[in-house]
Amino acid sequence: MKTASDLMVDIPTLRYDEYVTRARSVLRDDVFRELYVVDERNRLMGYLDISDVLRVVDTKSNVTIKGFVKEAARVAPETPLTEVARAIMKVYTNSAAVVDEDGMLRGGVLFSELFPVLISRHAIPGRVEDAMSREPVTCSPEDPVYRIYSLIVSSGFIAFPVVQKKEVIGIISRRDLLRAGNVRISVKNQADTTVDRVMTTPVISVTPDDPAATAAKLMVDHDVSILPVIDERKRLVGIIDRHDVLSCLVS
């Protein structure tokens, strides 16, 4: 049986007294959506995610990460992978911190790496309709980026479908905002940079009647964490993400 130690990787860490601008730089340049926060003895204090660092728009800031630290999913090295998934889903994170009995951080298990392993070993029951979130918040390609920026920060949602004439034409995510170099300036000045300049296309989607296993495979094949759900009239009726898919399995 595979355990957390089999998928454990090094995830960047920060001290609780470091600046948010440092966290933003690491998250922008790396594949990680979360960073672990440790004390001077490398004991896990919690984690910081992309939504947290997006709250500070100044290029230079003396704001430290101490006030943004949240409870992390914690597992032991010998924790079975299904239990690692449960821990991640309990706090709705994108990773689980692997700690020893003294609370020392050993590494982390990324949800993006755990997800394909679990769906390859287990049959995912149900349909997309059974797991999807309904009535998703959307935006239009003409919306100013600062509005979406504020929505992501306040809601904690990882992405929004971009809809034009009732058709989904793109996705805008936290990472799209973080990687776009001019977004912070646009947000700070409430400038006119629009969603269509930073959104991700083309859109990979599913229908409500598709098996949840189909959504899982698309997420793995295209390395995406969220899919719009489109009905027979091409209308957006929901969204489904990795957490939704695995809820069908671990429940």
| Domain boundary residue, one of 81, 99, 121 | 121
Residue 8 sits in the same domain as residue 110: yes
Q: pLDDT tens digit string along 105-130?
A: 999 999 999 999 999 988 899 999 99
Residue 52 sits in the same domain as residue 21: yes
Among 151, 166, 136, which Cα is nearest to 241's?
A: 136
Q: Which domain holds residue 82?
A: 4-121
Q: pLDDT tens digit string along 137-173?
A: 899 999 888 788 777 766 667 788 999 988 999 999 8
What is residue 209's predicted lDDT score, i.e. its pLDDT?
Answer: 96
| Domain boundary residue, one of 93, 121, 149 | 121
Residue 153 sits in the same domain as residue 217: yes
Model confidence pTM above 0.75: yes
CATH code where residue 67 lies: 3.10.580.10
Residue type, 69: V
For residue 63, give both structure tokens: 């704001």
Residue 69 sits in the same domain as residue 157: no
Residue 26 sits in the same domain as residue 74: yes
Among 221, 220, 219, 228, which Cα is nearest to 199's?
A: 228
| Domain boundary residue, one of 121, 154, 188 | 121
Residue 35 sits in the same domain as residue 66: yes
Going by DSSP bridges, is the β-strand pair 236-241/133-134 parallel, antiparallel, or unpaired?
Answer: antiparallel
Residue numbers in the chain where pLDDT is lower than 50: none
What is residue 13's predicted lDDT score, i.e. its pLDDT?
Answer: 92
For residue 170, give both structure tokens: 């793109």
Residue 144 sits in the same domain as residue 106: no
Q: What are the distances in angstroms from CA 140 to CA 39, 143, 172?
A: 43, 5, 10
Total domain count, the chain:
2
Residue 151 sits in the same domain as residue 198: yes
